[in-house]
Amino acid sequence: MRRRLCQCSNRSDSQSFSRSRATTLPSQDRLLTALLSRRPEAIIMVGSPATEEGARLLRHARSPVGETRELPSSPIDAVVGFDNYQAGDTVARHFVAQGRKNLAFIDGTDPRTTRRRLGFRDNAVASGLTDPRRLILDRNTACTTLAHAQLPGVDAVFTANDAAIG
């Protein structure tokens, strides 16, 4: 998504600024403060602000704000997303309907993937299965190789982050 937005802005007289992830909560607030000082025409975020201060900054911004990849309970402006907990629940329900018994979940430490994992786990356990095994990957880890090595006997894996791509 970020790449496509940058491509579109490069075709017009607009400029795009992209930051993939703030490493600490205060750094996200500082980044938003700096960005808003430039009076952007619009802000598109993956997710929602991580702090109340970040949400306050964006609510008072004079720019449209789009939040993506989740459904916040108190949207700032526009939202294009889905319920991450429900997504995990739906995947587990599909695996159970297919007769899968030994489930696993591969993720990182992103809050959205945590919500997917909780929905996945809750449905699996409610369906009578054991708590799915969990494998947490660092960025740039070879997912397939690691999963084969650390998840023997698993018959269905839900990969809820970019590790699914390769």
Expressed as residue numbers, the domain containing 126 is: 84-164
Same domain assignment for residues 88 and 74: no
Same domain assignment for residues 91 and 114: yes
Same domain assignment for residues 68 and 10: yes
Return the closest-CA partner of residue 40 out of 20, 64, 18, 56: 64
Same domain assignment for residues 73 and 88: no
Tell which of 32, 53, 80 closes a domain.
80
Predicted confidence pLDDT, tens digits, the chain (166 residues): 556 555 555 556 666 666 655 556 678 889 899 989 988 988 988 888 888 999 999 999 989 999 988 888 889 999 999 999 999 999 999 999 999 999 999 887 778 889 999 999 999 999 999 999 998 876 555 555 566 567 888 999 998 865 555 5
Specify whether the CB–CB gap between 154 and 104 falls below 8 A.
Answer: yes
pLDDT in tens, 97-132: 999 999 999 887 778 889 999 999 999 999 999 999
Overall domain count for the chain: 2
Dihedral class, residue 130 (left if φ above 0, else alpha if ψ from -120 to 50, else beta): beta
| Angle at 146 (CA atoms; ends 143, 151), nearest 5 degrees | 110
Same domain assignment for residues 102 and 64: no
Same domain assignment for residues 52 and 19: yes
Same domain assignment for residues 105 and 152: yes
CATH number, residue 67: 3.40.50.2300
Tell which of 29, 54, 80 closes a domain.
80
